[in-house]
Structure 1
Amino acid sequence: MSRIKEFNLPDLGEGLTEGEILAWLVKVGDTIELNQPIVEVETAKAAVEIPAKWAGQVQAIFHPEGSTVEVGTPIIAIDTDPGAGPVEQSTTGAPTTDLPTPSAASLAAVEVAPTEGAVEPGLIGGPAPGGRTAVLVGYGPRTTAAKRRPRKDTTPAATAPAAPVQVSPARVAPAPVQPAPAPMVNGNGRSSGPVLAKPPVRKLAKDLGVDLGTLTGSGPSGSITREDVQRAAAPAAAEPLTVTSPVSSAASFGADREQRIPVKGVRKLTAENMSRSAFTAPHVTEFLTVDVTRAMKALDRLRGRREWREVRVSPLLLVAKAVLLAVRRHPMVNSSWAGDEIVVKEYVNLGIAAATERGLIVPNIKDAGRLTLRELADAMTDLVQTAKAGKTSPADMSGGTLTITNVGVFGVDTGTPILPPGESAILAFGAVREQPWVHKGKVKPRLVTTLSLSFDHRIIDGELGSKFLRDVGDFLADPEAALLAWT
């Protein structure tokens, strides 16, 4: 059995077929352990760290940062027995010779010359039968130079240039190596060498056209921060920019004053899901304005309790609790349409829409209905922090049954949200504002918010939707009384 193992991009679930390599966490020559994170990949749903399937030494990295790779494609080669000595050549018709160790000047990468015909996987060094050139490890010289899925290469296989392969210093064949070869360039356009930057910062730099290799980081351990990237993208005489999206930077526009942003990742998946949902489920939206003065006072009392002082308490916590209690009273709201049947779920995987640098994502809290109020608060805090850090896993974004979107954090009164695919209802929570309100027969300033509920009219009729929304509103109008009455 070969000691060189090729690690393929794994199936990350939910029908995802490809991922973009955000950052390599190892380099050629590194010794790695089993289950050690080796690469960070952005799928259409999230950025995830992929662990090593074997322990050993990294022999080759097949795709640079920024590449889009299909599931099942080899991304790295690992020598699972590095202590056994140099890797020997293939014995299929060619003599086996030892591979010398190159000088430091020749360490980096080898660009394999184009060859006639395809090269079989697994060939290691030396010539192969039929005039084919074997390479160090992997799939051999590629028959196409295209790496990204949307592009289609029509160049004949016999004349297509080969893809560069990054190889281990101790495994370089003598013939192709020249003194001081060109260094490998990653997806950010910088030469090889460690650059400390988190994935969201790398994405911002890529969107703004900033070369991370030219920056000096001001963060911990010399890491590059968002502010470093923003300063580099701004004109020399301008103040530092606060950039929240690629479109917000004037420097990102071309001479024609237009900018073209590739639709991929989270934004692409969101567009596909929203289009499918909007034209599949017949949407109905209802609105309810609620006096939440008592709810806000209840939150203040909760924050003042000693055991809650370290807990993040926000109005959204009470909205989530209201939704979960209302589902118990109206289980049909927590269901999905399955063609010839309606599937009603006893569990509630409560989705919380979160705006991140990659776009809108909707991770969910599994079986949220079984959680206490304190457990729900902790789960919501973890969910939001993980989403903001870009670490939400695909599993956390699958299987949602009911969603809340908090448009109030943007100062918006309400909206008409579109259902996430497979769900029958989504509640929008608007901004809490002080408004004149009739209270006990007199007009007084009260804290008021507007709720809107969009639902699938195939499952939820007007009466059920109205009762559910009314129950949520009643809880927020007086949560302490509702808890006593409903539980």
Structure 2
Amino acid sequence: MTDSAISATRIREFKMPDVGEGLTEAEILKWYVQPGDTVTDGQVVCEVETAKAAVELPIPFDGAVHELRFEEGTTVDVGTPIITVDTDPSAGPVGPAGPAGPAEAAAPAERPAAAALAPAPAPEAEAEPESAPEAEPEGRQPVLVGYGVSTSSTKRRPRKQSAAQGPPPEAVQAIAAEVNGHGPASGAATLGAPAPEARPLAKPPVRKLAKDLGVDLATVTPTGPDGVVTREDVHAAAAPAAPAAAPTAAPAAAEPQAPSVATEAEPSAYARETRVPVKGVRKATAQAMVNSAFTAPHVTEFVTVDVTRTMKLVRELKQDPDMEGVRINPLLLVAKAFLLAIRRNPEVNAAWDEENQEIVRKHYVNLGIAAATPRGLIVPNIKDAQDKTLSELASALGELVSTARDGKTSPAAMSGGTVTITNVGVFGIDTGTPILNPGESAILAFGQIREQPWVHKGKIKPRHVTTLALSFDHRLVDGELGSKVLADIAAVLEKPKRLMTWG
């Protein structure tokens, strides 16, 4: 096996996996390794964002990072190699990267290129017999790899060289040597033609960065090993050009100009607009909301309720030793009230099967909690929430929220939801008309709790009040069922002792 074939077997490609449910692409958010770093099986090498969540990807083999195929911020199709690893770095440097096989297999592919450079014989060229073979000039090298010097006993009759007949044999020899990777021949310096300009050395991510910044790599001074242009070199070359691009005076001619536009990644003080690419979680959320709004007929009902007793219970639970270490807040009791209402009205926990024209009633509740993150709105859910105690539900809610804020929610945590709660009250909003998550039957909006005048036991007193809004799919939840569910939630929050009497 040749050296190049051995090198090829050492290099392993890690392809972008489908980390969700039939996802087709993901954006590389951050690389945790660089070329030359040692990696082990199971080590996280990068973080990617799919249409559902941000996910960390582990490498499935040991070795040293050979190449990062894409830079951060690039969206890559599932199945595309994103990183290569040298699985035997102790064996020495790896040959030229690429899927080439043995070197011998490459020779036939090279021959047409060299042959195309050879001048075509003139029509009048004829072979003349000689009495003895002509001695080969000392030091002559074969033109093509694997071909020896001809020992034919014939030679061509001298003829004049014309421009139409192509370059002289020395030029052919020099160019063919370049094609076969042997560098310029000794006679190339006498051709008189300028040598082709060398292409700057840079990795694909660096070339893309230079293209995005409008930097000509040929003008960049490389600082990397072996004259390789680095990302820092490109940024350094682009930095001096930034002030020059800024307008210093009004244009002399009164010509209409298009408004300046900046991108989210490169904001400008002079931009009047900012273009933000719609991708990842935001793209998936937008599509899901459009599909839901124009597929399921929505109905939303509202109720305003006195939750003073619920707020008192929250304060008492915070002092309970049995609840130590878990986060207690009004959302916890709203979630518990919603679960109790579903237990009393199980028909609301269903889904519409359009293909089979069936209503699928579910005997489990995967309770979704809408969470706003820097990457957009996500809705992870608590699996089998109906079976959890108040303490277990509090722990699950706390873990769900902290994981979402850290951007570590897995796609599995966001699949299979049945109903959802969206807590708009944390933004100072009284209520809203929430849109259903696709495949779910109901979503509850929990507004802010504020102190306001309220009639209590025949007198006007300051009480803690909130407004709830329940949106449901009217194909499978009629007005009576939806009203019962919302009324039960309100009744539990008004008198939380019903958690025990109804449960």
Q: TM-score normalised to the size of structure 1?
A: 0.69
Aligned counterpart, 1:232: none
Select which of 382, 395, 407 maps to 1:365. 382
Do the aligned partners of 1:428 and 1:451 also contact (CA within 8 Å) in 2? yes
Select which of 69, 75, 87 maps to 1:80. 87
CA distance in 1, matches of 2:425, 2:31: 38
Select which of 229, 232, 235 maps to 1:182. 229
CA distance in 1, matches of 2:452, 2:328: 23
Equivalent residues in 2 for 1:413-432 (5 A)?
413-432=430-449
Select which of 320, 333, 339 maps to 1:305. 320
CA distance in 1, matches of 2:20, 2:484: 37
Q: Secondary structure at the match of 1:453?
A: strand
Do the aligned partners of 1:7 and 1:76 also contact (CA within 8 Å) in 2? yes
Aligned counterpart, 2:243: none
Aligned counterpart, 1:456: 473
Equivalent residues in 2 for 1:333-412 (5 A)?
333-339=348-354, 340-412=357-429
1:91 corresponds to 2:102: yes
Q: 1:17 to 1:133 in 2, by over 3 A?
A: farther
Q: Secondary structure at the match of 2:331?
A: helix
CA distance in 2, matches of 1:59, 1:178: 15
Q: Which has the larger radius of gyration?
A: 2
Select which of 43, 48, 59 maps to 1:52. 59
In the comparison of the two structures, how many residue pairs are matched? 363
CA distance in 1, matches of 2:86, 2:335: 50
What displacement does 1:399 show? 1.2
Select which of 301, 322, 329 maps to 2:337. 322
CA distance in 2, matches of 1:281, 1:166: 44
Q: 1:427 to 1:163 in 2, by over 3 A?
A: farther
Q: TM-score normalised to the size of structure 2?
A: 0.67
Aligned counterpart, 1:219: none
Q: Give per-residue Cα distances to partners, 1:237-292, cap 9 Å, x unaligned.
A: xxxxxxxxxx9x9x946645222211112111111010000000000000011110
Q: Secondary structure at the match of 1:268?
A: helix
Equivalent residues in 2 for 1:207-356 (5 A)?
252=267, 255=270, 257-339=272-354, 340-356=357-373
1:4 corresponds to 2:11: yes
Aligned counterpart, 2:253: none
Aligned counterpart, 2:26: 19
Q: Give per-residue Cα distances to partners, 1:157-180, cap 9 Å, x unaligned.
A: xxxx9993479xxxxxxxxx9942
Query: Tell me, which stretches of 5 or more residues in structure 2 are unaligned?
Result: 1-7, 108-112, 114-144, 146-175, 182-199, 207-223, 240-261
1:486 corresponds to 2:502: yes
Q: Secondary structure at the match of 1:380?
A: helix
What displacement does 1:386 show? 0.8
Q: Give per-residue Cα distances to partners, 1:67-115, cap 9 Å, x unaligned.
A: 110100000111223334444584142699xxxxxxxxxxxxxxxxxxx
CA distance in 2, matches of 1:4, 1:133: 25
Q: Give per-residue Cα distances to partners, 1:401-435, cap 9 Å, x unaligned.
A: 11000000011110000000110100000011111
Q: Give per-residue Cα distances to partners, 1:172-221, cap 9 Å, x unaligned.
A: xxxxx9942211469xx868xxxxxxxxxxxxxxxxxxx9xxxxxxxxxx
What displacement does 1:301 show? 0.7
Q: 1:430 to 1:62 in 2, by over 3 A?
A: same
CA distance in 1, matches of 2:403, 2:442: 24
Q: Secondary structure at the match of 1:2?
A: helix
1:70 corresponds to 2:77: yes
Q: Give per-residue Cα distances to partners, 1:426-449, cap 9 Å, x unaligned.
A: 000001111111111211111110
CA distance in 1, matches of 2:458, 2:290: 46
CA distance in 1, matches of 2:367, 2:491: 20
Q: 1:367 to 1:265 in 2, by over 3 A?
A: same
Q: Secondary structure at the match of 2:470?
A: strand
Aligned counterpart, 2:155: none
How many percent identity over aligned positions? 60
Q: 1:84 to 1:329 in 2, by over 3 A?
A: same
Q: 1:427 to 1:165 in 2, by over 3 A?
A: same
Do the aligned partners of 2:20 and 2:52 also contact (CA within 8 Å) in 1? no
CA distance in 2, matches of 1:317, 1:455: 21
Q: 1:65 to 1:439 in 2, by over 3 A?
A: same
Code of the aligned partner of 1:74: P
CA distance in 1, matches of 2:335, 2:70: 43
Q: 1:398 to 1:134 in 2, by over 3 A?
A: farther
Code of the aligned partner of 2:307: V
Q: Give per-residue Cα distances to partners, 1:121-153, cap 9 Å, x unaligned.
A: xxxxxx9xxx99999xxxxxxxxxxxxxxxxxx
Code of the aligned partner of 1:181: V
Select which of 43, 47, 54 maps to 1:40. 47
Aligned counterpart, 2:213: none
Do the aligned partners of 2:337 and 2:499 also contact (CA within 8 Å) in 1? no
Q: 1:362 to 1:185 in 2, by over 3 A?
A: farther
Q: Give per-residue Cα distances to partners, 1:330-385, cap 9 Å, x unaligned.
A: 11211110021111111111110011111111111111111111111111111111
Q: Give per-residue Cα distances to partners, 1:19-38, cap 9 Å, x unaligned.
A: 11111111111111111000
CA distance in 2, matches of 1:395, 1:381: 18
CA distance in 2, matches of 1:75, 1:185: 22
Do the aligned partners of 1:60 and 1:166 also contact (CA within 8 Å) in 2? no
Q: 1:81 to 1:166 in 2, by over 3 A?
A: farther
CA distance in 1, matches of 2:399, 2:288: 25
1:465 corresponds to 2:472: no
CA distance in 2, matches of 1:21, 1:35: 18
CA distance in 1, matches of 2:60, 2:419: 36
